[in-house]
Amino acid sequence: MEDTLKIGQLTIGSKPEIVVVLSKELNDIEKLKENLSFIKSLKINFVEVRVDFLENISRLSEILDIIGDYNLYMIGTIRPQFEGGKFPFDENRLILFEELLEHPNVYLIDIELRSKVVKEVIELAKKKKKHVIVSYHDFEKTPEVEEIKNIYNQIKALSPTFPKISFKANSYLDVRKLHFAMAEYSDLKIYMSMGEYGKVSRVDSFIFGSVFTYTFVGEAAAPGQIDLFTLRTLLKILY
């Protein structure tokens, strides 16, 4: 299994990559530009565009162009309500994924394992020679190790670029369970524990092969996220 992967001009896997989640600011152009300038000043490469937060979906192309002007690598995500997001439908996302994949600065898209259109979205991405994250989130609990591995193997069977799993940690034991399960896999992946107990995983999961760690500017998009400046400082000290 390869230890690194080339995406654009970047080598993924040589160090943890910070991904800044763009959510509510997508509806405020001035705030968006302010945040993008701050992100760029800290030499961050990746942002996740949470399209499900966009109130006027007809502005998607405009928003993508604004972010593209900052030469940031985009992960396009349209998180549905059944997976903790805001988008009300599942199948209706296909046309939006097509629009995301057309943009030159969108290098990856994120689609949920439980989506009815997961295979169609993966096929769309492959046709456009783009990368795919197939994800699974549980905002309530961390299952037992064997169930974690079962979910992960279901994702791997779809052959995405990166499997992604994220579970709510209700204790430090939950964090240990997830690390223990992921340590058995040598492939490049994305995983984290959510919630206060899970904060440590935002920093140390890279040791077990997790290549991306997610953060925010202003307001967290998921429980347990560490703000951008703090996370960047911690990663610079450790890696």
Which residues, 6+ apart, have CB-to-CB distance to 237 below 8 Å?
Answer: none
How many whole angstroms separate alpha carbon 235 and alpha carbon 18?
9
Catalytic residue among 103, 137, 149, 179: 137
pLDDT in tens, 82-132: 999 999 987 789 999 999 999 999 999 999 999 999 999 999 999 999 999
pLDDT at 218: 83
15-233 fold: TIM Barrel (3.20.20)
For the CA atoms of 232, 60, 110, 6, what is the dihedral angle to 10 degrees?
-60
* 118-127 helix and 94-102 helix, angle to the nearest 10 degrees: 20
Token readout for 238 is: 């450790």
158 — pLDDT class (breaks 50, 70, 90): very high
State yes or no: is 236 an active-site residue: no
Segments making up each domain of the chain, as ranges: 15-233
Catalytic residue among 164, 168, 179, 189: 164
**How much is the average pLDDT of 52-67?**
96
Alpha helices in the chain (DSSP H): 29-41, 60-68, 94-102, 118-127, 145-156, 172-182, 201-204, 228-238
pTM: 0.95
State yes or no: is 137 an active-site residue: yes
pLDDT in tens, 208-220: 999 999 999 987 7
